[in-house]
Amino acid sequence: MQSVSQLSAPVGTTLSRFIAQQQHTHKGAQGELSQLLADISLAAKIINRDINRAGLLNLDGSIGSSNVQGEDQQKLDVIANTRFERALRNGGEVCCIISEELEEMIDTGNHKARYVVSMDPLDGSSNIGVNVSIGTIFSIFQRLSPQGSAPTIEDALQSGTAQIASGYVLYGSSTILVYTTGQGVNGFTYEPSLGEFFLSHPSIEIPEDGKIYSCNEGNFHDFPQGTQSYLEECRKEKLSGRYIGSLVADFHRNLLKGGIYLYPATSKAPDGKLRLQYECSALAYIVEQAGGMATDGSRRVMEIKPNALHQRIPLYIGSPKMVEKAMDFMQQD
């Protein structure tokens, strides 16, 4: 029989307490980054609520227009974007926002603020209407332009190595927020009855090698030859093919279990599908902090200098041994 103390185990460390504790270890930290992370977690809670009600409130489904990338926008894409934009504007710590859903960067009017946020407010949105996991991805940069002035495009076009934090929220069988500020990776599971995220996955490390590969193999014949050979090798080795079609969900599973996610270039999308500033950079920072790797086939994702807000790149990300092997095969191209 379980003892009373086992039954009433402590719920643990809240995200806000963890952020506050970490703040002391950042030299020169003045609390703005902590406030910003708190603003992001608030937006995530609101989106989590919206997603859970989507089927009842007729929020699943397309809005009937396309975003800047020519992709069908879902109602929840637009709602999530608005939730984040409001939370970040009202929080006051962000001078500039860039989003997968918006054509241009947003000047929040908070010109004294130090930070820039890039985000994909709701990734994997083709899965919304069928109750499959979706996610939010974010990166935080320090602005380059002087505080007190209007933000510039250079603030928004910084490479991954300049990130001071990145993370994602996975709205799955439970909702989890995973982030890094460059001191390892930690995951916080949402407790809906308390309305709080609690530390559930401290110091996440990706297994060095794995048995899972995640790829849309429907595009196989369009992939570069080296990538095709790598995928054939994965089949020969009888690895498990697992592809949800929601990057955050596929990435999170591989982060915990070991694996590789790949979205290569195709003849239809010669630069790949995923966006450097909204998806790839953020996850590259997380995976490296957890001991993994992220490449576009030849370059370290973190070092790619973006030349446009909505730039796309091919992505190979996950356990280091698997990414290295994929790169060996790609050298044939």
Residues forming the site for Mg ion (CB under 5 A)? 120, 123
Q: Which of these segments, 159-167, 227-235, 242-250, 303-311, binds ligand AHM (CB under 6 A)?
A: 242-250
Q: What residue 82 binds from ligand AHM, Mg ion, none (CB within 5 to 8 A, per partner kind)?
A: none
Q: Are 135 and 178 in contact (CB under 8 A)?
A: no
Looking at beta carbons only, is 33 or 98 nearer to Mg ion? 98
* Residue 236 host element (H or E): helix 225-236
Work out which of 110, 116, 121, 124 binds ligand AHM, going by CB under 6 A.
124
Q: Of the listed pieces 1-9, 119-127, 220-228, 324-332, which binds ligand AHM according to CB under 6 A?
A: 119-127
Name 304's Cβ contacts closer than 8 Å, sequence gap at least 6: 159, 160, 276, 281, 296, 313
Name the residue whose CB lies closest to Mg ion: 123
Choose, by CB under 6 A, the member of 50, 123, 196, 288 that binds ligand AHM: 123
Nearer to ligand AHM, 15 or 78 (CB): 78
Q: Does 311 engage in binding with ligand AHM (CB under 6 A)?
A: no
How deeply is 59 buried, as exposed, middle or buried, from its count of CB atoms within 10 A (0-12, 13-18, 19+)?
Answer: middle
- What's the CA gap between 310 and 208, in Å, rounded? 31
Provide, rounded to whole angstroms, the least separation between the CB of residue 155 and ligand AHM. Answer: 23
User: Would you call 322 helix, strand, or coil by DSSP?
Assistant: helix
Instruction: Please report, as residue ranges, which positions from 88 to 107 form the binding site for ligand AHM (by CB under 6 A).
Output: 100
Task: Determine contact, residues 134/128, Cβ cutoff 8 Å.
Answer: yes
d(CA 278, CA 150): 22
Residues within the interface to ligand AHM (CB under 6 A): 71, 100, 120, 123-125, 216, 245-247, 273
